Amino acid sequence: DGRNIASASADRTIRLWNLADGSPVRTLTGHTHYVTSVAFSPDGRNIASASWDHTIRLWNVADGSLVRTLTGHTGDVNSVVFSPDGRNIASASDDDTIRMWNLADGSLVRTLTGHTGSVTSVAFSPDGRNIASASRDYTIRLWNAAAGSLVRTLAGHTGSVSSVAFSPDGRHIASASADGWLRLWATDSGRCLQLGPLRDAWIVMDNEGRFFVPPPGREYIRFSVGLNSYPPDTYWDRFYAPDLLQRFLRGEELPPVDRTPLDAHR
């Protein structure tokens, strides 16, 4: 209902705060290690918390009582999220798995395996049909929530992926990585854009090399072919796309870039 905020802490507690005046409502205690993630159920009646004590705990918001403890992970639990219908919980762990739990009785629904590194973040699509997971194996994986099957692996980051989220319409996935780049992925195809810092500006790029950079960053753009570097005006018209992000979000398929002049320098 937007009246409270829940926070998770290395002090092993979850705290509830009144949004109107910032006053503490209550403190939930019971975890025996750092609490890494917290989520409200869609109806606001429960809170789920994840911890490095290898458990997920489910709490009653109204009185702060512990409803149940979910056990089964064999590593630190890094992320927890409710399904949009409130029937299930998904958790991500250092044991390289995502687990789905039945909220009604706390039973394990299924375990999703395939990552080759710690799973750092997990998210349900808005319609609840898919789950996205981020991992220290540098990938994001998209799963069918009902079957537990892998839909596709999104690869491209060159560092651990720390966070993943769906857009409100479910058409895109955003991922953040230790490589310093944010990537946007098309859920239906796996196409991506990458967004990152460029000195005191930022840049958007696609896999074809098309890019957009605001005026403060344009002085840093250079085109390289092999060992040769060329000034911006050499290929600017070919690769500069001021509406790149907007067209990607609309789902437009852009044609390949004509690279003939570039190849001539090889």
Has residue 262 got a pLDDT over 50? yes
Give the distance, in angstroms, between the CA of residue 16 and the centroid of all CA atoms in the same chain. Answer: 24
pLDDT above 90 as % of the chain: 78
Higher pLDDT, 202 or 27: 27
pLDDT of residue 66: 97
In the predicted model, what is the mean pLDDT of residues 157-162?
97
Q: What is the pLDDT of residue 10?
A: 97
Mean pLDDT value of segment 85-102: 98
Q: What number is the average pLDDT over the span 52-74?
A: 97
Residue 266: predicted pLDDT: 45
Cα distances from 32 to residues 14, 52, 93, 147, 199, in angstroms, run 12, 8, 16, 33, 42
**pLDDT computed for residue 200 by the predictor:** 81
Identify the band that residue 265 occupies on the pLDDT scale cut at 50, 70 and 90: very low
Q: What is the 3-state secondary structure (H, E, C) of the chain?
A: CCCEEEEECCCCEEEEEECCCCCEEEEEECCCCCEEEEEECCCCCEEEEEECCCCEEEEECCCCCEEEEECCCCCCEEEEEECCCCCEEEEEECCCCEEEEECCCCCEEEEECCCCCCEEEEEECCCCCEEEEEECCCEEEEEECCCCCEEEEEECCCCCEEEEEECCCCCEEEEEECCCCEEEEECCCCCEEEEEEECCEEEEEECCCCEECCHHHHHHCCEEECCEEECHHHCHHHHECCCHHHHHHCCCCCCCCCCHHHHCCC
- Average predicted confidence (pLDDT) for the chain: 92
**pLDDT at residue 6 above 90?**
yes
pLDDT at 86: 96
Q: Tell me the percentage of the chain whose pLDDT exceeds 70.
A: 94
Half-sphere exposure of 218 (CA within 13 A, CB side): 11
pLDDT tens per residue across span 30-52:
999 999 999 999 999 999 999 99
Q: How does pLDDT run across 215-255, given as a tens digit for each residue?
A: 877 777 877 766 677 777 777 888 889 999 999 999 888 88
Band the pLDDT of 73: cuts 50, 70, 90: very high
pLDDT of 254: 84
The per-residue pLDDT for range 103-128, each reduced to its tens digit, is: 999 999 999 999 999 999 999 999 99
Record the tokens describing residue 24, joined without a space: 């503490």
pLDDT at 147: 95
